[in-house]
A and B are shown apart, each in its own frame.
Chain A
């Protein structure tokens, strides 16, 4: 595309997957125990979307990447210390909760509103990126709702590959049932791509990118507007950890042949 793409990536924080999580009941509904204290990372699938966006922007001159994040701005500031060193983007901060128990409709509304405030965003060149689901709510619906609010009717879910073809059309591979891909060709932007893993590794830290990003990150954090997000109309009757803990039989010193026989009996049983 002449002039490149305007790529907006929606992505926020989730608890580090290695952390132990426990639900607690608060005045406004369930949340995580010590939620503000838990180490946070960029939501993994949103992270892949961001890396794919940066890769595409690098290869399409004139493109620009924005990262729109809804989350507590103190925690987003911590996240930026690592993410901002990896790829170039302009940050848009929406200061509100990032937990999993908020309603995706409300989240989508806030994100769409945030995107609409971006100065200079050319909607005809817009590629809206995000993860195919979050590691918190894991609903897999927010991006489509944002897209719908922005009037984008070409949407793709579980994307692993985007190729801009010589004629400017977008060839897209989406994860389909049974471990296969659906291949589609979209005429042009605007389009929404909710990414799965993609094909790119996590970029290494680059201090120069970090310094360049920080010039816009800090002002973005300072002028972040509070975003009210909850789960109106929802009554959580219970939120609990799964109770099942298995009594693991640890088998040591059994010859491989015997183990194999036991496994085969189990499979056939």
Chain B
């Protein structure tokens, strides 16, 4: 009989992030699929009562918490101590958590302490014949594996945007607060705050409908033999503003900033999509001035509809990686696109 624990941490406003509700939705579904399985919910934060009440009707038999000011912040030592206490109390055999920075950082250490095992970037779960199997990608989204394992506790970090979020009525519940003492050695790290990257605009929007990717072509000499960085910046930021889209980049473009080549000032490595960047999830993606080579295109694995603008009709996007490739000058096309969107 599996004892399933779904853990989550609160946001600064005391609520649960949407990815936590997705993890809870997956956990509830798994409990329904596995005969005799039970569900516990573990919550970490300064004050988790409102969060517990918001998911009180999810069917969990126990609601465990580690709460207090020191557990509001995202810090390895305190997070690991909190998760360890909850997992031990729940005697969990399967632990399901959203892939936030806090849990991505702290859960592996907890797994080590509990002599368990962990799978991350989980994008699918199934419980056929009473046996849990999961899906995850290897080699940066190049191949998909379905696997199961014997060891317990088995920790699963679920990627966001994959599983339907749990939906239900709030209610009341009895919260079991676990006391976790943090010695001085666990408080050597102080969280100072959150800082936007050293660029002048917030360009990464994980919930946007459209991902706009700019490649190095924007910073190359154009048909007139000149660079047009200002115009490139205007076109790109104009589209982001008009469409409320998220901005991605090819590696070659963001690498230019450390190589002393002229760059777009609002770009950083945080925008990078692909092999050594992110793999965002958006319904649509538009690539511009980017060749769509494999190391970049693997970052598009979870973009549903893909279009590209490139002057090269034989670029990577034409090789079955995009739905539509427009062989055109992105400067001209995006100027008109912005005009139409603004109108």
Chain A residues within 8 Å of B, Cβ to Cβ: 15, 17-18, 20-23, 30, 32, 44-45, 100-101, 103-105, 108, 135-142, 144-145, 147-149, 153-158, 160, 171, 173-188, 196-197, 199-201, 233-242, 245-254, 256-257, 259-261, 263-264, 266-267
B residues neighboring A (CB under 8 Å): 74-77, 80, 100-101, 104-109, 111-113, 117-121, 133, 137-151, 185-186, 188-197, 202-206, 209-210, 243, 255, 258-259, 269-272, 275-276, 284, 286, 293-295, 301, 305-307, 309, 313, 317-329, 332-337, 339-341
Closest to A199 in B: B258
Which of A17, A158, A242 has the largest number of chain B CB atoms within 10 A? A17
- B138, A239: Cβ atoms closer than 8 Å: yes
B144 in contact with A239 (CB, 8 Å): yes
Nearest first, the 5 closest Cβ-Cβ pairs linking A and B are A179-B204, A260-B336, A141-B108, A144-B108, A155-B76
Given the complex, which residues of A lie within 8 Å of B148, measured CB to CB? 234-235, 237
- Complex Cα spacing A100 to B190, Å: 34
B307 touches A18 (CB 8 A): no
B285 to chain A, nearest CB (A): 11
In the assembled complex, how far is the CB of residue A131 from the closest CB belonging to chain B, in whole angstroms? 9
Query: Is there contact, CB below 8 Å, between A183 and B194?
Result: yes
Contact of B112 with A108 in the complex, beta carbons under 8 Å:
yes
Q: What's the dominant secondary structure at chain B's contact region? A: mixed
Contact residue among A17, A137, A179, A186 (Cβ-Cβ distance under 8 Å from B275): A17
- The interface residues of chain A lying within 8 Å CB-to-CB of B333 are 256, 259-260, 263
Provide the residues of chain B in CB contact with A138, threshold 8 Å.
121, 137-140
Q: What 5 additional pairs, Cβ within 8 angstroms, besides A154-B76, A248-B324?
A: A21-B139, A101-B145, A141-B120, A144-B76, A197-B272
Contact B144 A236 (CB under 8 A): no
A32, A153, A184, most chain B CB atoms within 10 A:
A153
Contact B105 A44 (CB under 8 A): no
Which single residue of chain A is at the shortest CB-CB distance from B134? A237
Roughly how many angstroms separate A183 CA and B193 CA in the complex, as a whole number? Answer: 5
Q: Which residues from chain A contact B144 at a C-beta distance below 8 Å?
A: 238-242
Shortest distance from the beta carbon of B152 to any chain A beta carbon, whole Å: 10
Complex CA distance for A17 and B274, rounded to whole angstroms: 10
A240 to chain B minimum Cβ distance, whole angstroms, is 6
A58 to chain B, nearest CB (A): 17
Closest B residue to A160 by CB, please name it.
Answer: B269
B321 touches A267 (CB 8 A): no
A residues in contact with B204, CB < 8 Å = 178-179
CB neighbours (8 Å) of A263 from chain B are 286, 307, 326, 333, 337
A264 and chain B: residue at smallest CB distance: B340
Given known contacts A149-B112, A183-B191, A246-B320, is B295 in contact with A18 (CB within 8 Å)? yes
* Cα A158 to Cα B140 with chains together (Å): 16
Q: A144-B109, A175-B270 are in contact. Are A158 and B120 (CB under 8 A)?
A: no
Q: Among A155, A182, A259, which residue has its beta carbon within 8 angstroms of that of B326?
A: A259
Pick 19 A–B contacts, CB within 8 A, sort by A.
A18-B295, A104-B118, A105-B118, A136-B138, A153-B186, A157-B104, A174-B101, A177-B100, A181-B197, A183-B195, A186-B189, A233-B151, A238-B145, A239-B138, A239-B143, A247-B323, A248-B321, A256-B336, A264-B341
**In the assembled complex, which residues on chain A have CB atoms less than 8 Å from the CB atom of B105?**
144, 155-157, 174
A267 to B119, CA, bound (A): 35
On chain B, the residues within 8 Å of A140 by CB distance are 104, 108, 120-121
Q: Which residue of B is nearest A172, CB measured?
A: B189
Q: How far is the CB of B18 from chain A (nearest CB, A)?
A: 11
Chain A neighbourhood of B307, CB < 8 A: 263, 266
Contact call B188/A188, Cβ cutoff below 8 A:
yes
Verify A257–B336 contact, CB threshold 8 A: yes
Chain B residues with CB under 8 A of A177: 100-101, 206
Inside 8 A of A266's CB, which chain B residues have their CB? 284, 305, 307
Q: Do A251 and B320 contact each other (CB < 8 Å), given the known contacts A233-B149, A239-B144?
A: no
Quick check: B147 and A237 within 8 Å, CB to CB?
Answer: yes
Q: Across the interface, do B320 and A176 meet the contact criterion of CB distance under 8 Å?
A: no
Cβ 8 A contact of B320, one of A186, A238, A245: A245
Chain A residues contacting B141 (CB-CB under 8 Å) are: 242
Pair A248/B195 contact, Cβ less than 8 Å: no
Contact call B258/A237, Cβ cutoff below 8 A: no
Are B328 and A256 closer than 8 Å at their CB atoms? yes
A187 CB, min distance to chain B CBs, angstroms: 4
Query: A233–B116 Cα gap in the complex (Å)?
Result: 11
Contact B327 A250 (CB under 8 A): yes
Q: Is the CB of B337 within 8 A of A176?
A: no
With A201-B258, A233-B151, A234-B147 already in contact, the answer to whether A184 and B75 are too (CB < 8 A) is yes
- Inter-subunit contact A248/B319 (CB<8 Å): yes
Distance in Å: Cβ of B317 to nearest Cβ of chain A: 7
